[in-house]
Chains A and B, each alone.
Chain A
Amino acid sequence: AQSVTQPDIHITVSEGASLELRCNYSYGATPYLFWYVQSPGQGLQLLLKYFSGDTLVQGIKGFEAEFKRSQSSFNLRKPSVHWSDAAEYFCAGTTRGGSQGNLIFGKGTKLSVKP
């Protein structure tokens, strides 16, 4: 069955430290993968997406993610975290030709930033 898994429910990092949020997927075909961010009380905003080509994807707000087929992973990274990055982050995936409404979300990782 298709699935997206975020192993970490909550991560705390110090401001200025590097960040890596994990995402693993299970799809038969090459998936389209997304990272969304949700600030408190807000809707979701797209950070970046991958569907083909260069496996290192650059996004907004200084985020990047790397698609690793061998590890079925699409981890999100940022070299230096800012206090404003505190939010919940969702990995999501789908495949072309599948159920038309079927974007599957992970359960989310909540990021806290220590001053």
Chain B
Amino acid sequence: NAGVTQTPKFRILKIGQSMTLQCTQDMNHNYMYWYRQDPGMGLKLIYYSVGAGITDKGEVPNGYNVSRSTTEDFPLRLELAAPSQTSVYFCASSHRDPTDTQYFGPGTRLTVL
């Protein structure tokens, strides 16, 4: 039981490039989340999903897109990367809504130069 896995662990992008951050969970959780963590700012919710085919915006969605075609996978797409997207990105999942425990992946450290 791997829990929540994320790839890649590290990535450097040039301004204007695009990439997809991968997230997979093997706990059959309905809810999945993407957060970004900036120093001294805690975690901010980017997007979340309540089940396959259903996604919604969080607090800071601009510049990102998501899809949820299966229960297991919740990729985060960055289009036209900007320096402001330099951050650590965490994927998480929970069985029920956010009142339930969230399980986090190890994170992806992204630098945009």
Q: Is A43 positioned at the interface, with any CB of B under 8 Å from its CB?
A: yes
Residue in A41, A43, A49 whose CB lies within 8 Å of B104: A43
Question: Taking the nearest CB of chain A, how far is it from the CB of B7, in angstroms?
Answer: 14
Indicate if the CB atoms of B105 and A106 lie closer than 8 Å: no
Q: Is B42 positioned at the interface, with any CB of A under 8 Å from its CB?
A: yes
> Closest residue of chain A to B9, judged by CB?
A41
List residues of B (37-82) whose CB comes within 8 Å of A's CBs: 40-45, 47-48, 50, 56, 58
CB within 8 Å for A46 and B56 given contacts A100-B50, A101-B33, A101-B48: no
Interface of A is mostly: loop
Q: Is B102 positioned at the interface, with any CB of A under 8 Å from its CB?
A: yes
Indicate if the CB atoms of B56 and A100 lie closer than 8 Å: yes
Residue in B42, B101, B103 whose CB lies within 8 Å of A105: B42
Indicate if the CB atoms of A106 and B42 lie closer than 8 Å: yes
Indicate if the CB atoms of A107 and B42 lie closer than 8 Å: yes
Indicate if the CB atoms of B98 and A103 lie closer than 8 Å: yes
Indicate if the CB atoms of B106 and A42 lie closer than 8 Å: yes
**10 interchain pairs, CB-CB under 8 A:** A36-B104, A41-B106, A42-B107, A44-B92, A45-B104, A94-B99, A100-B31, A100-B56, A101-B47, A103-B102
Further 15 A-B residue pairs, CB within 8 A, beyond A44-B92, A96-B97, A103-B98: A36-B104, A41-B106, A42-B107, A43-B90, A43-B106, A44-B90, A45-B104, A49-B101, A90-B42, A94-B98, A94-B99, A100-B50, A101-B48, A102-B58, A103-B102
